[in-house]
Amino acid sequence: MGNLLRLLTGASEQDSKDIFLDFENATPTDQEKGVWEVVNSVLENAPSILNALKNYGGASEEIRIAIGNPRDDELQELAWKVVLPLVSKLKLFYQYSLELESIVPQLLYALCVGNEQVETRLGQKQALAKQFAEVLNFTLNFDDLKMTNPNIQNDFSYYRRTLSRKRMAIDDIGGDDQAEVSTEMANRMSLFYAHPTPLLKTLSDATTKFVSENKNLPIENTTDMLSTLSSLCRVMVENAEIAQKFENEETKFFVLSVMVGMIILYDHVHPVGAFAKSSAIDMKASIKLLKEQPHGSVDAFFNALRYTTKHLNDDSTPKHIRMLLA
């Protein structure tokens, strides 16, 4: 998928820049290797996490029966035993979100540090740009699966209510040790799963924190990187000559998910956000591109833009942009 793309940064060809980025085959240079290996050790677990979330069936039936028969101890215990291993999975997902949160600042610093133009930095660190794209693609997929599975919050709510009634520490209950969740962790998990797009919120918060904690790094280094990658992804799909080289539809939706993820992060860290007229991101073109996709195929991307961005409802957002996302 490596392509030399001309990204328009203004109204004329004089206001353009060329950038080459390979999202498929980029391999780490010696300069990238240290950060790349740390990030790779986390990303290599992403497919199994996503597969476990896809196959999360929940305990809705057992919980329904237990709630309907509150005096039947056997049914209460049956529901509890079914819920415990599910909570173990939810704990695993949450812990993985913490791992992702820990690698985001490392990726951002590596991609944003330096006095070079943004296209030069990205060209020199293509393997890290590819990993950043993979983090965002995983994030949107994770949040879509979570948002469309009400069993996750229902199971965890039942677990917490039942645990409270038992009035004892989880390690005294005799369940699977892997399902144990401390009160403190249960509180943090509850806040995590209560958000409609928990992983996007985690990454957005991590990116905002990165900018605030790295005062010596110009904010433009971060916002330019995010807007350039977003524009790059948009052009890759818009350009018919490039798009036809995609091996399958999955590749195209990978690129679109990265575009949306970059927009959301940019909106959280840029002072006026992604939707204002002065934004470096062409929101009208980005939304138009999403609307051109098959009906229903990009609903998750629209939901992410509606519910996870920060500045959509600001007065500075043009009305036609708000209408496009209505």
- Condensed to tens digits (0 to 9), the pLDDT of residues 110-149 reads 999 988 888 888 888 999 999 999 999 999 999 999 999 9
Q: How confident is the model at residue 169 (pLDDT cuts 50, 70, 90)?
A: very low
**Whole-angstrom distance, CA of residue 255 vs CA of residue 30:** 26
Which pLDDT value is given to residue 17? Answer: 52
Higher pLDDT, 242 or 239: 239
Whole-number Å distance between alpha carbons of 295 and 292: 8
Q: How far is Cα of residue 133 from the mean position of the Cα atoms in its chain?
A: 10
- Evaluate whether 146 touches 189 at the Cβ level (below 8 Å): no
Q: Is the pLDDT of residue 13 over 90?
A: no
Query: What is the mean pLDDT of the segment spanning 160-175?
Result: 64
Of the chain, the percentage scoring pLDDT greater than 70 comes to 89
The Cα 274–Cα 283 span in angstroms is 7
Cα–Cα distance, 210 to 291 (Å, whole number) = 32
Asked whether 73 and 12 are in contact (CB, 8 A), the reply is no
Nearest to 267 by CA among 205, 214, 326: 205
> In whole angstroms, what is the distance from residue 324 CA to residue 301 CA?
13
- Distance, CA of 79 to CA of 154 (rounded, Å): 13
Distance CA 287, CA 263 (A): 11
Residue 238 has pLDDT above 50, yes or no: yes
The per-residue pLDDT for range 253-289, each reduced to its tens digit, is 899 999 999 999 999 999 999 999 999 999 999 999 9
Would the pLDDT of 176 be above 50?
no
Residue-averaged pLDDT of the chain: 87
Q: What is the mean pLDDT of residues 68-83?
A: 93
